[in-house]
Amino acid sequence: MIKISFPVALALLLPLGLMAQTNPAAEAAKDYTIAVAWQQHSGEYRALSFQAYNFAKLSLQERLKGVDTAKPSCVVVDIDETVLDNSPFQGHEIQKGLSYAAKDWSEWTAKVAADTVPGALGFLKYAQTQKVETFYITNRDQVDYKATLTNLQRLGFPYADEAHLMVKQGTSDKEARRQQVLGKYNILLLCGDNLSDFSNVFYREGKNTKEEVDRAQQEFGNHFIVLPNPMYGDWEKLLYKGGHLSETERSKQRIEGLKSY
């Protein structure tokens, strides 16, 4: 007769869903569920994305009126949650009980299955008609380069070529890449879902993010075009205290950091 310990016997009797509830990391990952569901299913997400790119078109028209013709003009865009929607990857991770796994991200990018963010393709095609080029500055890694380029080309994005796609090269700081483009082009607009897509002043210089946003308020909708992304971003780092936190610890700090009464 084989003896089975009580914990093992209990685990065998529990439904799989109930067993998942006993996994703290899986429970913590569920914190992101409503954010992903909102991006995938809400009309408001689509409306805000269209609104952002409608403003981008109007702003581009205005900025072209006084442009320096000594250099060609361009717009700079981030990729993830700015022109490509990766919410299926986020949903996949939550269903696995994870917040993020690098292996899964590589698997996702290799599928070249990301769809467009609403309004992005139409805006960049319009910019092309105005002889305005597009540079894609992303923090995807070099290993994802080919798949990223294929994904953009499959969807018909203009200037999706090796000359205009700039992935991460050792650092996630985009400033050097922005300056590289600025050396040869007029950057008329920058589009992104993260304030670091526009300037280092918001997160990388140790300044108060909200104060810096207030100082730059006239830039938003004019020079900086912000896309909605409740799923992840540099903003979340401001919630946490301490390094190398587990997802469970981050989840606890997210709750503790909420404003209440």
Cβ(229)–Cβ(40) below 8 Å: no
Domain annotation covers residue 126: yes
Question: Where would I find the H helices in the chain?
Answer: 6-13, 16-21, 24-29, 33-41, 43-65, 87-95, 102-110, 120-129, 145-154, 175-182, 209-215, 247-256
Neighbours of 197 (CB within 10 A): 26
Q: Which domain holds residue 139?
A: 24-257
> What DSSP assignment string belongs to 94-158?
HHTT-S--HHHHHHHHHTT--EEPTTHHHHHHHHHHTTEEEEEE----GGGHHHHHHHHHHTT-T
Q: Domain containing 168 — which CATH number?
A: 3.40.50.1000
- Phi, psi at 20, each rounded to 5°: -65, -30
pLDDT of residue 22: 67
- Write out the two tokens for 208: 């108060």
Q: What predicted TM-score, i.e. pTM, was given to this entire model?
A: 0.90
Q: Consecutive 10-residue runs of the chain (261 residues): their mean pLDDT?
A: 44 47 86 98 98 98 94 98 98 96 97 98 98 98 97 98 96 97 98 98 95 98 97 95 94 96 97
SS3 (DSSP) at 85: strand
Domain annotation covers residue 13: no
Domain annotation covers residue 33: yes
User: For the chain, how many structural domains are there in total?
Assistant: 1
Neighbours of 181 (CB within 10 A): 17
